A = this chain, B = another copy of it.
Amino acid sequence: VEHALRATYRFAVPAGALDARVEALCHEQTVELPPAAVTHAFVREAILPRVERVAEDPRGGFRVTVAYPELTTALDPAQLLNVLFGNSSLHADVELAAVRLTPALEARLGGPRLGAPGLRELTGVRGRALTCTALKPMGLSAKELAGLCARFARGGIDVIKDDHGLADHATAPFDERVTLCQAAVEEESARSGRRILYAPNLVGTPAAIHAQLALARQRGARAVLVAPMLVGLPLLAELAGAAEGMALLAHPSFAGAQRIAADALFGTLFRAYGADASIFPHAGGRFGLEADACSRLAEELRAPRRGLLPSLPVPAGGMSVERVRELVGFYGSECMLLVGGSLYAAGAELDRRIREFVDAVAQASQAPGTAGA
């Protein structure tokens, strides 16, 4: 199929049931009609997908690659998801395992506007992995969060983001929080000559999020955090167009409600939809990802892909200072390490712990074989 959008599904069905199951999916995802009712020749030729590859999955079940005519997507960011996994997401026996977009879809979505190179440019950090942490917990005042922000900035962190759970809470209203935290990183940037980024969390309805983005820009922020599955993945594509010069960090919150493989969602799709950096749970943390899925995910974010800039992988989800060397070994230094709880757990020793994190990243990045990522 020319101009084909390719999706690979993993079916947990017995071999004897596979053909009928795949045919049902092909119809469900496009015409949503029983095969006998698909009578138009054009619809059969130009709308129904073709099955390109069927293979046993070593983990059990089957992996089936389906080629959808690009036309089915109308080159629309929401309709694309609909075609990939709309109604079929409701079926427990199938998961979306991999996605290969067409050049036209990638061009429409646009991918990261700054990407990994832009994040290097914004921070001025070269030759080592970037460091990132989160301001938390909710319930602190804007002043308290800004106080933490100042400590993280002084300690040498490159990117200080809101926790994804910080909304426009009465305890730390968005405007006040952004104003104070941005002032904190600007003060330390001026003092140290480093270029520290503060990334406020955007959360709300699309209109609220656009307003928050504008306010964040006005207050001087050069990066924002957003959880695409919480607010709607199509909104990420819209924000990528609106963020002009600001880095978009994507957070995986609420993503587990869909059965989409982590590398396809946080890798392929988040990058295509415009995330400059993609936060995801690394293996061996609080979440269940496996190391090989993490490798594929990083590969999806970084692999040369026509007009798409690479996104920066941000392994997270319960990482500790003690794992920095291992993480830089795994991802190379073309990544950003996000460590939160492991710093906060130090309590009164927070400042010392921040420095340990920063030093560990600098040292690990100098180990042989990590620079190329």
Distance A18 CA – B78 CA, assembled complex (angstroms)? 38
Q: Nearest chain-B residue to A252 (Cβ)?
A: B90
Docked-complex contact A164 and B227, CB < 8 angstroms: no
Docked-complex contact A255 and B137, CB < 8 angstroms: no
Contact of A34 among B83, B163, B238, B344 (CB under 8 A): B344
Residues from chain B with Cβ under 8 Å of A86 in the complex: 164-165, 227, 230, 253-254
Q: Does A268 contact B (CB under 8 A)?
A: no
Q: Does A36 contact B (CB under 8 A)?
A: yes
Q: Does A256 contact B (CB under 8 A)?
A: yes
Docked-complex contact B237 and A31, CB < 8 angstroms: no
Q: Scan A290-319; emit 1 where CB is below 8 A from any B CB, else 0.
A: 000000000000000000000000000100
Q: Scan A160-179; emit 1 where CB is below 8 A from any B CB, else 0.
A: 00011101111100000000
Docked-complex contact B90 and A208, CB < 8 angstroms: no
Docked-complex contact B76 and A168, CB < 8 angstroms: yes
Docked-complex contact A31 and B138, CB < 8 angstroms: yes
Residues from chain B with Cβ under 8 Å of A345 in the complex: 33-34, 36-37
Given known A-B contacts A40-B140, A204-B79, A167 and B74 have beta carbons under 8 A apart: yes
Distance A231 CA – B230 CA, assembled complex (angstroms)? 10
Q: Nearest chain-B residue to A281 (Cβ)?
A: B90
Distance A230 CA – B166 CA, assembled complex (angstroms)? 24
- A–B Cβ pairs within 8 angstroms, 14 of them: A30-B137, A30-B165, A31-B137, A31-B139, A32-B137, A33-B136, A33-B341, A72-B169, A78-B203, A79-B203, A85-B254, A86-B253, A90-B256, A91-B256
A interface residues with partner B (beta carbon < 8 Å) = 24, 28-34, 36-40, 42-43, 46-47, 71-74, 76-79, 81-83, 85-92, 134, 136-140, 163-165, 167-171, 203-209, 227, 229-235, 237-238, 252-260, 281, 286-288, 317, 340-341, 344-345, 347
Cβ-closest 7 pairs across A and B: A232-B232, A89-B256, A31-B137, A206-B206, A79-B167, A86-B253, A74-B167
